Amino acid sequence: MNSIRAVLFDFDGTLTLPGSIDFAGIKKAIRCPGDVPILEFIEGLPSAADQRQAWQVLEQFEDQAALRSHPNDGAEELVRFLKRRHIRRGILTRNRCASVETALKNFAHMRLADFNVIITRDHVQRPKPDPEGVLQVARRLRVPAATLLMVGDYRYDIEAGQRAGAPTAFLESHLTTRCPDPPADFVVRTLSEVSDIIDRLNRGRKKAQKDHK
């Protein structure tokens, strides 16, 4: 596996503590079937008026969740680690920009400026699990997708990374009900484990290069 030059994070449930956003409540409010993704359901509603109403409901839930969001364990420490190692950092979320900005106000040591790129649903035509966002981040950071580690707590994060050709790390939590299939390259229970993965991969790559010389 390649050395890691950038790390791309999901936001809700990955950089933030899981559970702040009520997905079941959103689906009930907009009458979205349990097995249908929310964004895709709204896009498929038959009329513009229905879509506008559903977007408003979703954004209300997102605003409430952002206000009560808090940093996930090890999130701020991991971002500081990446900055020290000069590893680029990005966020890729199905949420919208305003919610990310609001949620980050609850972080003591993390701001928008700590990330080289932030891609929300406002910036892509096809959100995760489509690889569009991952590939867009790779282009903007000027790194091959194969050197960009995608970290997320939901299967869409892993599927997007895999489809873009990026290595993936799946963050399990007490809310994990379904693991990615095919599985991620790495499975972690805490974000602090991600720094160990990066160190191991980057040391191994450097050693291989030295041995080759």
Overall average pLDDT of the 24-32 stretch: 97
Name the residue with tokens 């599927």: 159
- State the pLDDT confidence band at 206, using cuts at 50, 70 and 90: low
**Is 151 a residue whose pLDDT tops 60?**
yes
Q: What is the reported pLDDT for 204?
A: 66
pLDDT digits (tens, 9 = 90+) for 98-118: 999 999 999 999 999 999 999
Averaged confidence pLDDT in the chain: 94
Radius of gyration of the chain (CA): 17
Query: 78 has which bridge partners?
Result: none
- 2 or 130, higher pLDDT: 130
Name the residue with tokens 């980050």: 104
Alpha carbons 158 and 168: distance in angstroms, whole number: 6
Alpha carbons 213 and 210: distance in angstroms, whole number: 5
Alpha carbons 113 and 116: distance in angstroms, whole number: 7
Q: What is the reported pLDDT for 209?
A: 52
Overall average pLDDT of the 5-13 stretch: 97
Q: Torsion angle, CA of 69/89/155/187, rounded to 10 degrees? A: -100
pLDDT digits (tens, 9 = 90+) for 52-62: 999 999 999 99
- 177 or 147, higher pLDDT: 147
- Give which of 128, 123, 131 is closest to 13, Cα–Cα: 128
Q: What is the reported pLDDT for 67?
A: 97
Q: Torsion angle, CA of 3/170/194/131, rounded to 10 degrees? A: 40
**Is 210 a residue whose pLDDT tops 80?**
no
Q: What is the reported pLDDT for 1?
A: 83
For the chain, domains (ranges, CATH) are 6-18+70-212 (3.40.50.1000), 23-67 (no CATH)
- Side-chain-side CA neighbours of residue 174 (13 Å): 4
Q: What is the reported pLDDT for 48?
A: 97
Overall average pLDDT of the 147-151 stretch: 98
For the entire predicted model, the pTM comes to: 0.93
End-to-end C-alpha distance for the chain, whole angstroms: 19
Question: How many CB atoms within 10 Å of residue 186?
Answer: 19
Alpha carbons 167 and 151: distance in angstroms, whole number: 9
Above pLDDT 90, what percent of the chain?
Answer: 92
Alpha carbons 45 and 91: distance in angstroms, whole number: 28
Overall average pLDDT of the 18-47 stretch: 96
- State the pLDDT confidence band at 178, using cuts at 50, 70 and 90: confident
